[in-house]
Amino acid sequence: MAEAIIGPLVVKLQELAVSEARALVAVNDDIRSLRDKLMWMQAFLRDADPRRRIVPDEASRVWLHQTRDAAFDAEDAVDQYFLLVDLSSQYTISLKVPKLDTHHYKVHYEFSTQLRVRHNLSSKIKAINSRLENIIKNKETYKQIEDTNKIVVPWRASTAISVAPTKLDNLLQPPLVSREDKRKDLTSALLYDTVVDSSLPDSTPRQKVISVLGPSGVGKSSLVRDVYETLEIKNHFVEQALATFPPYSSASDILKLILRDLKEEDFTLSKREVTKELDKKLKGKRYLVVIDGEGLPLAIVLLSGLLRTKEYPVEWKAVFEHLKSKQSKRLDSILSLCFDDLPYDIKSCFLYFAALPTNMLIEAQDLVCMWMAEGFLRPKEGLTMEKVGYRYLKELIARHLINLEPMDENTPEEELVTIQSKVHAFLQIEAQEVNFVEIHNSDDIPPLSAARRLSLQNRMEKYAALANPMPKLRSILSNFEKEETSKEYDVADEDQEAKVQQSPICLHCSPHGTTTKCKEGDAKSYLRQLLQTSKFLRVINLQGLEVGDKLPNEIGDVVHLQYLAVTSCSLKEIPPSVGRLSSLQTLDVRDTEVKELPVPFWEIGTLRHVFGHRLTLPKQVGDLKNLQTLDTVKPDDNIPSAVFSTKTSLRRLEVMELDGMLIDMPCVEDMDIKSCLPNLLLLSLENTMVSQDFINKLAELPFLASLTLDGGSYKDEQLVFSAGGFHSLRRLTVDLEELKKLEIHESALPKLADLDILIHSNDLNIVILGKNDVVEKLLHEDKILSKKIQRTTRSERTARRIGVE
């Protein structure tokens, strides 16, 4: 894992050497020397990490520990340099000097400050170089320890991802369709389809085995249990047993579970004795035995994900021989094998799951944005950082290390991932061993002075860890349920109940039925202290922590911050100081009361993703050349057309949601959408009251893949999808109460794969003009929607899936 930590640092040193080449002439040689040393050590570490698991020894452990600490110190030195340079460039003279001299003082201050920080960086880099040389010498001195243990993993770890470029949702297994039909089929198979052996003279009924198959999580066990418990089945069979067994159970264990369920007793019998008892109990009777294996053992699933990356039979053989040689057959061996085989640039991304709670649905987009802010992602092969991140996610899914959850029909654009609890436990141990993240999930607060990432998971003492200074902290994450804020609550007295006015209190109900309280003022002071002492912060993701009605002004001092997400029911205002966050990439204030962001925020040129709820755009925005997501924007007639002109950087915008009448935002309704928003992938409209002309403009967008027309988004009674339009659209949702007629022309929507039409009135008619093979296929999957089709002389068939309110 240590080589994955060094990787981002090598990139950072390279960027430092290039960007500060003139300013750091005297230091550049030392920086390049440090970078070269780290690159060599990274190569050695790729072999050393797997070896420490196979032949653990104290010398290797010390060498890895010292190398990691030196790398951390180098990262601290570089970050400290950039921090001081950025702060000095933002400094404004506050001394009372003549107006004409202000610029002179400012320039003098910046120059003297940068001289000091460069000298400081030079001293630290030289010290770290010397330290690494000593570490390398010590490794050579004790090399005989390594030479006597030449056992290594007998294949090379993966150096590149193995999945082909494809959409994330293409990795989903199809869910079971029409559960009621499956229920009837299973019941019929049990009751009526009796198997008879015709070779026997009396045509005696024989045993039958029914397998219920399907991907994990689609409800196989629930389906079988529903049928098993029905009165019809209970009356049909004389004996019934349902045995659920965990992975690695022996045949004897399974037979004992069956017998225990039949006789409702515990047995300590041998396998032969159990077999005799079962024979005695079931012989000559009609019986039903359900065996639920709880899916394939996790080790087999993980092993299959590993082997899919191995192209040659000799590699498969090497994997199995390696497993045979292991003294321990535990799941940890497989997990270690799968982890060590990951390409080094994906390891940090995978390890990031350790900072998130288990059994939690995680939005794929949020995860990729955090990876990006951490510096784990770099553009490559012509791909943006986001696309690289999604490729990494696909690789982890394909290896079965994480799971992609089926999409919620209410929020189809949200791709969610989860991680299995045993894999998560392994990652937490791995992450804490290499000081990747500190996890506060108990009453004991770990030492945090050297913590680089902190995950708050203690629901009872959520704010306790924030009271400690954390000067090296890069990321802080919390994922609690949203707290409720109240200014009054009931207090029970011995004789009466009295309503008492109090200062704002944050109340949070824990799973154990108790309630923790934290005064709003305390919570704000904790957050202010965090911002004052943790200047290296790159990621702030506070879900379920009360922060008051306004973020502290100190948020603007954390100039390296790239990801800011807050879920707080009381938050209403973001201070103007946020405009000083010159590296900010992602802001997420969706689950807050924030409706407007300060004007300086819209001047941040690094912005890539902005999430909110009906945010109001200012009259002027900066050159947002990197902005890809704008969700959700409230139309406002005060917004000038220049905001959406072809000269702005919204040309890279991929996701946009509008909520409000576009008649109040003529700059959007009248703009040349194809020129202004050429890269738009997802568009959601609600209460916008757009016309058919606006829909026709959307039809020209070259990459639009998802369009949602929610309530009030369209003002006419007839909606037409003309021939040749929307040639990239894959998902279309139409939820319009006033719609009377939906018309789809021939060759329209050629790539459509998901059509949702919510019918609010029997008056709705769907007309298909001409032959449309894509719509014909969708129609074949939905008989209800086909009844709404109005066939003309040119029509064939139409549409697909429907949800009826």
- With 60 as the cut, is the pLDDT of residue 499 above it? no
Residues 6+ apart with CB under 8 A from 329: 323
Tokens 């991140």, located at residue: 389
The reported pLDDT for the residue numbered 778 is 65
Q: Angle at which helices 58-90 and 2-19 pack, to 10 degrees?
A: 30
Q: Taking phi first (over 0 means left), then psi (-120 to 50 degrees means alpha), and beta for anything else, what does residue 546 get?
A: beta
What type of residue is 396?
L
The reported pLDDT for the residue numbered 3 is 62
Q: How far apart are CA 487 and CA 570, in angstroms?
A: 11
Tokens 């913590």, located at residue: 451
Please give the torsion angle defined by the CA atoms of residues 13, 17, 18 and 22, in that order, rounded to the nearest 10 degrees: 160
The reported pLDDT for the residue numbered 339 is 92
Lowest mean pLDDT among 285-289, 460-464, 579-583: 460-464
- What is the mean pLDDT of the segment spanning 367-393? 93
Q: How far apart are CA 533 and CA 270, in angstroms?
A: 65
**Structural tokens at position 51:** 């070896």
The reported pLDDT for the residue numbered 12 is 74
Q: How far apart are CA 411 and CA 631, in angstroms?
A: 14
Q: How far apart are CA 477 and CA 496, in angstroms?
A: 42
**Structural tokens at position 395:** 């690789």
Q: How far apart are CA 389 and CA 757, in angstroms?
A: 33
Peptide bond into 632 cis (omega under 30): yes
Instruction: Give 109-129 pLDDT, tens digit per residue.
Output: 555 666 677 777 878 888 888
Q: How far apart are CA 592 and CA 566, in angstroms?
A: 8
- With 50 as the cut, is the pLDDT of residue 510 above it? no
* CA-based torsion, 92, 93, 94, 98: positive or negative: negative
Tokens 């947002």, located at residue: 624
The reported pLDDT for the residue numbered 785 is 64
- With 90 as the cut, is the pLDDT of residue 372 above it? yes
User: Which of residues 340 and 538 earns the better pLDDT score?
Assistant: 538
Q: How far apart are CA 12 and CA 536, in angstroms?
A: 14
Q: How far apart are CA 193 and CA 205, in angstroms?
A: 11
**Structural tokens at position 798:** 């139409």
Strands 475-479 and 453-456: parallel
To the nearest whole percent, how much of the chain has pLDDT over 90? 22
Q: How far apart are CA 655 and CA 665, in angstroms?
A: 18
Tokens 């696909």, located at residue: 394
**Element at 578 (helix H, strand E):** none
- What is the mean pLDDT of the segment spanning 514-530? 66
**Element at 787 (helix H, strand E):** none
Q: How far apart are CA 420 and CA 771, in angstroms?
A: 46
What type of residue is 750?
P
Q: How far apart are CA 175 and CA 518, in angstroms?
A: 44
How many C-beta atoms surround the C-beta of residue 517 within 10 A? 11
In 3D, which of 688, 693, 690, 709 has the Cα closest to residue 614? 688
- With 90 as the cut, is the pLDDT of residue 330 above it? no
- With 60 as the cut, is the pLDDT of residue 503 above it? no
- Is 755 in a helix, a strand, or coil? strand
The reported pLDDT for the residue numbered 608 is 94
The reported pLDDT for the residue numbered 450 is 87
Q: What mean pLDDT value characterizes the chain?
A: 76
How many C-beta atoms surround the C-beta of residue 300 within 10 A? 13
Lowest mean pLDDT among 115-119, 187-191, 194-198: 194-198
- With 80 as the cut, is the pLDDT of residue 501 above it? no
**Structural tokens at position 352:** 């990031």
User: Which of residues 746 and 176 earns the better pLDDT score?
Assistant: 746
In 3D, which of 550, 525, 440, 543 has the Cα closest to residue 483? 543
The reported pLDDT for the residue numbered 101 is 52
Instruction: Give 628-676 pLDDT, tens digit per residue.
Output: 888 877 766 566 555 665 445 566 677 777 776 766 566 566 677 877 7
Q: How far apart are CA 630 and CA 491, in angstroms?
A: 44
- Is 371 in a helix, a strand, or coil? helix
- The half-sphere exposure of 724 on its side-chain side, counting CA atoms within 13 A, is 2
Q: Name the percent of the chain in helix, strand, coil, to the closest 5.
A: 40, 15, 40
- With 50 as the cut, is the pLDDT of residue 793 above it? no
Lowest mean pLDDT among 31-40, 68-77, 348-357, 365-374: 31-40
Q: How far apart are CA 314 and CA 317, in angstroms?
A: 5
In eight-state DSSP terms, residue 216 is T
User: Which of residues 250 and 797 earns the better pLDDT score?
Assistant: 250
**Structural tokens at position 792:** 């003309």
Tokens 């998560």, located at residue: 424
